[in-house]
Structure 1
């Protein structure tokens, strides 16, 4: 394999007649994020009220646990929870990155334009109206996210998917969806209302391997779909005219990527509840570090942010709190940072 440095900050890797361009800064940042995720997962295995040494954790992962209690805490509690945090964060961040690219609007994340709230309304309907449990919430969240996306398409397609109009429409739809959820909570049975309220807070408490498997499959399928649309995904930020000139079928590319972004957001909400701001913050931080719009760094950043936020939610306070509370604070700090940065430019 040969590597040739290009003046654009990329390297051209060639082997056996095939070549691929690699953005050097993006590659370094992606590698660093992956390593940080591994470190954070390792930390999540040993930190807690029941402390576990690093050698015992490694032995347990190699199926040689020193005792049953250690095996239970690592294999049934901490490891699946950490992996779910990474998967949910990656799904939210990927969805946010896709929506931003599709609309060419940096604020068009699923929790800003109403997709997350629509998924929340669908999940709450399953719990409070249809009498379903947490296991049946996934279908309701996906339907709610799909209906909200369809409504946004109907109301904005004729004038395009970009601009402040999309954000304002999303805020309005999100407010309507949450008003509907509040109505259901006020009219539902106490036990069902408590279950729905806990889910709506956004939490990874009690999540296990059965919650991880469907989300992992969705992430795998979405990764294949996104890779099949790589050329169109990179051309969309250049503008419609140039994308068409480059041979991109805009309608098909947008619909495929929009479907992938919607399913990812819906599955993330179905798995952990409506966790706010990860889909908005992670793509911005990844773009700031890589100076590119690649989806993989954004996904890894989302997984890292949610995993670290969950560690903070579990261990930084006297009692564990829902991770959604920590991500809301993270989003508030992020917006304050943006305001301060913009204020300095004026």
Structure 2
């Protein structure tokens, strides 16, 4: 029932995103343009701006949501999301280095961000796997990497000119402004591979949530399953970050919200749909909430996620579950 309602919410938000805003479309005009009719001005806005932006927003929301849910469930800690444990920071540092040092732009920045996220994730895993990957160890190593990557980003921004720094900051905030059908096609192709892989591994994830001993008793190869899940989650977060930048806190928020909606049980589908709702709603709000001001989607999600993080830390410490 809940996944069906969330799916309907995604469709409604997608329709609102495309049809309303600073430039509105009627439903008949929408379908006329969609089926090939040329309406001066309107066709370009819909087909080259609003639709690819809505498609990419939906897809990155699904990717971040599932990636966050996998990490949080696997490591049994709500802090274990890609944007907290350093993976998104790896993408950010790589992208900023490419922009500042080599003048990269467009798909080159996305490709470098993808490689950077995967490389940092591999280093985190290798450093945390001594004696088996314990949740707290991976989180602490990831937070350490996040601090190092953030320092590297700050250093690079102080060593470049204002124009280049402003370009880098747009990417760092997480934005859908550079959405295009080419970028949407690459992201959709990646998710066509990664989402079935996540679905196949979902049963193993539920077993690992019970603990290593219980999972082994169910016939699950614990280390192999954990590594496979980490690879899929990292890849989902990496391709989403490469498409739109490190959109803050989507991965962090989606799992806990999905768990509350499902009354204690998290499914990857639910988390992905929640992520899509968050991104679509946040980007629409950022574009229309303040007249004459357009906020990047990452600024809005960051404003939502920061209070939730503080609340989680306070309540976890109060009940003795701070780690």
- With normalisation by structure 2, the TM-score equals 0.92
Q: Do structure 1's residue 306 and structure 2's residue 269 form an aligned pair?
A: no
Equivalent in the alignment of 2:83 = 111
Ranked by relative contact order (alpha carbons within 8 Å, sequence separation 6 or more), the top structure is 2
Equivalent in the alignment of 1:132 = 104
Q: How big is the shift at 1:279?
A: 0.3
Aligned length: 318
Equivalent in the alignment of 1:194 = 166
Q: How big is the shift at 1:195?
A: 1.7
- Partner Cα distance (1:279, 1:226) in 2: 15
Q: Is the 8 A contact 1:231 1:248 kept in 2?
A: no
> Which residue of the other structure, out of 207, 217, 226, is the alignment partner of 2:179?
207
- Partner Cα distance (1:149, 1:343) in 2: 28
Q: How big is the shift at 1:233?
A: 1.7
> Which residue of the other structure, out of 21, 29, 36, is the alignment partner of 2:2?
29
Q: How big is the shift at 1:344?
A: 9.0
Q: Is the 8 A contact 1:104 1:162 kept in 2?
A: no
Equivalent in the alignment of 2:118 = 146
Q: Do structure 1's residue 241 and structure 2's residue 213 form an aligned pair?
A: yes
Q: Provide the secondary structure at the position in 1 that maps to 2:130.
A: helix
Deviations 1:69-110 (A, max 9, x none): 222221111111011111111111111111112222221000
Runs of 4+ in 1 over 4 A off after TM superposition: 339-346
Q: Do structure 1's residue 334 and structure 2's residue 302 form an aligned pair?
A: no
Equivalent in the alignment of 2:23 = 50
Classify 1:255/1:166 alpha carbon distance in 2 versus 1 (closer, same or farther; 3 Å). closer
Q: Is the 8 A contact 1:89 1:303 kept in 2?
A: yes
- Partner Cα distance (1:338, 1:125) in 2: 33
Classify 1:107/1:343 alpha carbon distance in 2 versus 1 (closer, same or farther; 3 Å). closer
Q: Provide the secondary structure at the position in 2 that maps to 1:68.
A: coil
- Partner Cα distance (1:178, 1:340) in 2: 24
Q: How big is the shift at 1:340?
A: 7.3
Equivalent in the alignment of 1:184 = 156
Please give the root-mean-square deviation of Cα atoms over the aligned residues, in Å: 2.0
Q: How big is the shift at 1:304?
A: 0.7
Q: Larger % of strand: which?
A: 1
Classify 1:186/1:215 alpha carbon distance in 2 versus 1 (closer, same or farther; 3 Å). same
Q: Do structure 1's residue 297 and structure 2's residue 270 form an aligned pair?
A: yes
Larger Rg over CA atoms: 1
In structure 1, list runs of 5 or more residues that go unmatched: 1-27
In structure 2, list runs of 5 or more residues that go unmatched: none
Deviates more, 1:186-195 or 1:74-83: 186-195
- With normalisation by structure 1, the TM-score equals 0.86
